Amino acid sequence: MVQINLPKNSKVIKGIYYKDKTNSKNIRKVNVYRWDPSTGENPRIDTYEVDMDNCPSKVLDLLNKIKNEIDPSLAYRRSCAHGVCGSCAMNMDGKNGLACTKPHAEIKGDINIYPLPHLKVLKDLIGDLNTLYKQYESVEPWLKTSKKNDQQENIQSKSDRSKLDGLYECIMCACCSTSCPSYWWNGDKYLGPAVLLQAYRWIMDSRDEDRKERLNKVADELKLYRCHTIMNCTNACPKGLNPAKAIASIKKMLATS
């Protein structure tokens, strides 16, 4: 049997335990992944006892309470707090999602919070999204048209517009891509479900005049066909979208065109 040993500095160790100081009767333990590259120390799991009587309902509220009242050194992304920006995507209770829309009451027992899997960790719960954004840029997510009249709307029929439903709502939070094993192993070449969903959004836009070129651009063994329809992406999407269906549709268009 093959035995794989992790480098010593990558092993996650037990961290600091922050005891509650409020004497609250309603306490929950929150275990948070911590790593600061500037210290040279191993990643660790810090445990916080949090007074739930004075905490709103979402996981992001828990993190805000920890940062504001217990440990200001905790680092994570957040912005809109309404499931629109995608900034606070992380792994909670073993599942990817948005901390601002995930109720902590749905998590039984201790609350375990980690950064999104696969991504290089920049600090604590902050993952490096540079590769994802470069891949997003590579599909040229903007309208390509020869029309130059800026004084007139480039309108669509209701039927054509409806084809974008379930595509334009993507907020590029990366929950789907970081739940995909194919993206874990080939993230430098496979575009992943988030970017391919965005590619399909522009392929299907009736106002765009570059459909053939867009299809050719993703028609690659690694860029597209590393998708094995595992469906993790669809299960992970916090917006209820279906990236797997979009990828299958691209494959079908290529096979029948």
Place of tokens 């990366």: 174
> Considering its fold, how many domains does the chain have in total?
2
DSSP run (H or E) holding 184: helix 181-186
> Which of 127, 152, 184 is a domain's end point?
127
User: By C-alpha distance, which of 202, 206, 229 is closest to 139?
Assistant: 202
pLDDT exceeds 80 at position 177: yes
Q: 194 lies in a domain?
A: yes
Q: 3 lies in a domain?
A: no
Q: 49 lies in a domain?
A: yes
pLDDT above 70 as % of the chain: 98
DSSP run (H or E) holding 211: helix 211-218
Work out the pLDDT band at 8, boundaries 50, 70, 90. Answer: confident
Work out the pLDDT band at 245, boundaries 50, 70, 90. Answer: very high
Mean pLDDT, rounded, for 12-23 = 93
Same domain, yes or no: 169 and 212: yes
Are the CB atoms for 136 and 199 separated by under 8 Å?
no
Q: 167 lies in a domain?
A: yes
pLDDT exceeds 70 at position 1: no
Same domain, yes or no: 182 and 194: yes
Work out the pLDDT band at 153, boundaries 50, 70, 90. Answer: confident
User: By C-alpha distance, which of 76, 45, 72, 46 is closest to 59?
Assistant: 76
> Which amino acid is it at 18?
Y
Q: 188 lies in a domain?
A: yes
CA angle 195, 197, 202 (to 5 degrees): 95
pLDDT digit string, tens, across residues 184-239 = 999 899 999 999 999 999 999 999 999 999 999 999 889 999 999 999 999 999 99
Q: Which pLDDT score, from 0 to 100, does residue 32 have?
A: 98
Q: 151 lies in a domain?
A: yes
Mean pLDDT, rounded, for 155-184 = 96
Same domain, yes or no: 139 and 188: yes
- Domain span including residue 67: 8-127
Same domain, yes or no: 112 and 194: no
Query: The tokens of 182 are what?
Result: 């194919």
Same domain, yes or no: 103 and 16: yes
Q: Which pLDDT score, from 0 to 100, does residue 5 have?
A: 73
Same domain, yes or no: 93 and 190: no
CATH of the domain at 117: 3.10.20.30
Same domain, yes or no: 122 and 134: no
Same domain, yes or no: 169 and 205: yes
Q: Which pLDDT score, from 0 to 100, does residue 148 have?
A: 76
Rounded (10°) angle between helices 192-203 and 243-256: 60
> Which of 93, 127, 161 is a domain's end point?
127
Work out the pLDDT band at 2, boundaries 50, 70, 90. Answer: low
Residues 6+ apart with CB under 8 A from 230: 180, 181, 182
Are the CB atoms for 31 and 110 separated by under 8 Å?
yes
Q: Which pLDDT score, from 0 to 100, does residue 146 have?
A: 85
Q: 17 lies in a domain?
A: yes
> Alpha-carbon distance 193 to 226, whole Å?
10
Q: Which pLDDT score, from 0 to 100, does residue 9 have?
A: 78
Name beta bridge partners: 114.
Answer: 91
> Alpha-carbon distance 109 to 203, whole Å?
45
Same domain, yes or no: 179 and 68: no
Q: 93 lies in a domain?
A: yes
> Alpha-carbon distance 189 to 221, whole Å?
9
Same domain, yes or no: 135 and 251: yes
Work out the pLDDT band at 164, boundaries 50, 70, 90. Answer: very high
CATH of the domain at 239: 1.10.1060.10
> Alpha-carbon distance 30 to 60, whole Å?
12
Same domain, yes or no: 47 and 71: yes
Same domain, yes or no: 119 and 135: no
> Which of 83, 103, 127 is a domain's end point?
127
Name the more confident of 73 and 9: 73
